[in-house]
Amino acid sequence: MSKRGGYPGGMGMPGNMNNLMKQAQRMQRQMEESQKNLEEAEYSAKAGGGAVEVTVSGKKEIKSLKLTEDVVDPDDIEMLQDLIIAAINEAFAQVDSASGEMMNKLTGGLGGLPF
């Protein structure tokens, strides 16, 4: 007499579920480690031909800002402000790109998964 319902292989499912849980835990540890590495990394960007350089952390915190003397023009503060914003935005884009690459490596390129 055959059983109806259940999973093929009878009691094989608990072992498979255990393996799945181990894989999920391993992936979570890898994600946490990768996230920590990302947050500790620093990303630098320049604007205005190197007149403005900003360095940010993976947490998107500004670590340093360097200006060349010739970019500081009291008659054109707006240009300096624009260059600083451009450099910061470029550095943040680098953080976002590194974060996306990290997730692709961890998920094997599977997009749209809720992590």
Render pLDDT for 29-45 as a digit per residue (tens, 0 to 9). Answer: 988 998 898 899 999 99
pLDDT tops 60 at residue 1 = no
What pLDDT is attached to residue 104?
86
Share of the chain above pLDDT 70, in %: 82
pLDDT of residue 109: 60
pLDDT tens, position by position, 55-90? 999 999 999 999 999 999 999 999 999 999 999 999
Tokens linked to 112: 């749209």
Distance of CA 25 to the CA centre of its chain: 20
Pick the more confident residue, 101 or 53: 53
Confidence of residue 17 (pLDDT cuts 50, 70, 90): confident
**Structure-model confidence comparison of residues 110 and 115, the more confident one:** 110
- Local structure of 57: helix, strand or coil: strand
pLDDT band at 92 (very low <50, low <70, confident <90, very high): very high
Are residues 58 and 38 in contact, defined by beta-carbon separation less than 8 angstroms?
Answer: yes
**What does the alpha-carbon distance between residue 93 and residue 87 come to, in Å, rounded to a whole number?**
10
The answer to whether 51 and 70 are in contact (CB under 8 A) is yes
